[in-house]
C-alpha cells in the first residue's frame, strides 16, 4: 500500500506551490476550496509581490515540520494585475531549486461564463460598466500569455462541481512521489467521454441488465446485476484479459513517472455494466496494493 501522505511530504526539501488562475467564473474558487480540503493552504487574490515573503515565512517556521503546500489564486481581481509581470515572476519562481511550482489554468466557453454571471448576478471584474460579454473577451485576451504557460488546463464548461473536485483530489493529493494514484470511472456514451480519461473501455458488448424488468431499476452496485453480467458467456474471458492487461501496464506507467491514471468504462446508460466492471477492477487493483478511487458519473448526476 502507499505511504501515509504526511510521511510523503516530510523533509522533501521543496515547497509545493500551485498557482490557480484563468477566466473569472471558470471555477477557480471551487478549485481553491477543493485543494484546501486535501491539505493545501489556500489564499485567493494574493499580489505576487507578496509571494516571496510568504514562501520564506513558510519555510522558516519549522524546518522539521511537514513541508507546506500552497494553492494561490491569481486573476484579474488581483491588485496591479499585469500578465507580463506575472510571467516574469513565474519564471523566477520556477527557477528556484527549493520550489515545485505548477500553474493550473481554468477556462469555460464564453456562453457558459456569461450564463454563470447572469445566474449569480455577479459583476464581471472587467465589465463593471459594460456588458458581461465585453469583460469576458477583454479578460481572455489579457490572460492569453498566462494560459500558454499553464502546466494543467481545466475546461469546466461541462464539469459539475463534484467532478471537478474529484479530478483535483486525484491529481494533487499530497501522496508519496513514486505512488500511482488511480481513478476508475463509469459513464454512459450518450453524455460523452470523460474529459480526463487516459484509458477508455467500451463494455456495451456485455448483456444489458436494462432489458430485464427486475434489474432495470437497480445499478451495477447491486449483487443481482453483478450476477447477471457475470453470467454472460463472454464475461469471464473478457475479465481475465482486461485484468491482466491493466495489471501489466501499471508498473510501466510508474516507471515513466506517471503519478495519476484514469481508467474509464462506458456503456449505454452508465448505470449497469460500466458501474459493475469499474467496481470489480477497483477491487482487483486494491488487492494488488494500489490506491484507487471510484467515480460513477451517471449515478452521481442522477442523484
pLDDT in tens, 119-156: 777 778 776 767 888 889 888 888 888 889 888 888 88
Q: CA distances (Å), 296 to each of 57, 161, 186, 248, 260, in order? A: 42, 14, 5, 24, 18
What ranges do the domains of the chain cover?
5-172, 181-301
Chain segment 36-47, per-residue pLDDT in tens: 888 888 888 877
**78 among the known binding-site residues?**
yes
Q: Model confidence at 11, in pLDDT bands (50, 70, 90)?
A: very low
pLDDT number for residue 175: 55
**111 among the known binding-site residues?**
no
Per the model's pLDDT, the better-predicted residue between 155 and 291 turns out to be 155
Per the model's pLDDT, the better-predicted residue between 14 and 137 turns out to be 137
**75 among the known binding-site residues?**
yes
What's the whole-model pTM score? 0.59
pLDDT number for residue 173: 74
**26 among the known binding-site residues?**
yes
**76 among the known binding-site residues?**
yes
**167 among the known binding-site residues?**
no
Architecture of the structural domain at 5-172 = 3-Layer(aba) Sandwich (3.40)
Most trustworthy range by pLDDT among 78-87, 149-158, 225-234: 225-234
**219 among the known binding-site residues?**
no
Q: What is the mean pLDDT of residues 49-77?
A: 73
Per the model's pLDDT, the better-predicted residue between 83 and 145 turns out to be 145
- Least confidently predicted of 19-33, 54-68, 125-139, 204-218: 54-68
**268 among the known binding-site residues?**
no
237-266 residues labelled b (16+ CB within 10 A) or e (exposed):
eebeebeeebeeebeebeeeeebbbbbbbb
Chain segment 91-118, per-residue pLDDT in tens: 888 888 888 899 999 999 999 998 888 8
In 3D space, the residue among 85, 55, 57 whose CA is nearest the CA of residue 72 turns out to be 55
**28 among the known binding-site residues?**
yes
Per the model's pLDDT, the better-predicted residue between 238 and 90 turns out to be 238
**27 among the known binding-site residues?**
yes
Q: Model confidence at 50, in pLDDT bands (50, 70, 90)?
A: confident
Amino acid at each position: 500500500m502507499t505511504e501515509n501522505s504526511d510521511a510523503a511530504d516530510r523533509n522533501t526539501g521543496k515547497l509545493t506551490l500551485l498557482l490557480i488562475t484563468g477566466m473569472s467564473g471558470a471555477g477557480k474558487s471551487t478549485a481553491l476550496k477543493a485543494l484546501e480540503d486535501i491539505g493545501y493552504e489556500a489564499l485567493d487574490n494574493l499580489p505576487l509581490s507578496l509571494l516571496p515573503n510568504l514562501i520564506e515565512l513558510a519555510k522558516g517556521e519549522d524546518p522539521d515540520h511537514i513541508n507546506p503546500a500552497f494553492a494561490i489564486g491569481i486573476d484579474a481581481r488581483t491588485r496591479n494585475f499585469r500578465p507580463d509581470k506575472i510571467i516574469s515572476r513565474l519564471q523566477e519562481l520556477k527557477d528556484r531549486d527549493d520550489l515545485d511550482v505548477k500553474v493550473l489554468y481554468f477556462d469555460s466557453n464564453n456562453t457558459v461564463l456569461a450564463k454563470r454571471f447572469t445566474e449569480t448576478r455577479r459583476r464581471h471584474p472587467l465589465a463593471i460598466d459594460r456588458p458581461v460579454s465585453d469583460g469576458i473577451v477583454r479578460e481572455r485576451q489579457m490572460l492569453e500569455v498566462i494560459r500558454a504557460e499553464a502546466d494543467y488546463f481545466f475546461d469546466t464548461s461541462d464539469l459539475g462541481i463534484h467532478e471537478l473536485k474529484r479530478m483535483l483530489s486525484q491529481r494533487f493529493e499530497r501522496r508519496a512521489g513514486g505512488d500511482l494514484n488511480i481513478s476508475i470511472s463509469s459513464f454512459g456514451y450518450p453524455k460523452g467521454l470523460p474529459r480526463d480519461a487516459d484509458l477508455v473501455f467500451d463494455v456495451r458488448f456485455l448483456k444489458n441488465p436494462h432489458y430485464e424488468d427486475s434489474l432495470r431499476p437497480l445499478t451495477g452496485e447491486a449483487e443481482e446485476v453483478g450476477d447477471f453480467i457475470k453470467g454472460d458467456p463472454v464475461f469471464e474471458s473478457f475479465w481475465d484479459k482486461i485484468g491482466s492487461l491493466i495489471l501489466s501496464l501499471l508498473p510501466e506507467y510508474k516507471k515513466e513517472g506517471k503519478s495519476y491514471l484514469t481508467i474509464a468504462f462506458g456503456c449505454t446508460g452508465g448505470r449497469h455494466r460500466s458501474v459493475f466492471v469499474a467496481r470489480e477492477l477497483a477491487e482487483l487493483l486494491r488487492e494488488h496494493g494500489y490506491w484507487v478511487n471510484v467515480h460513477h458519473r451517471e449515478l452521481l448526476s442522477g442523484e
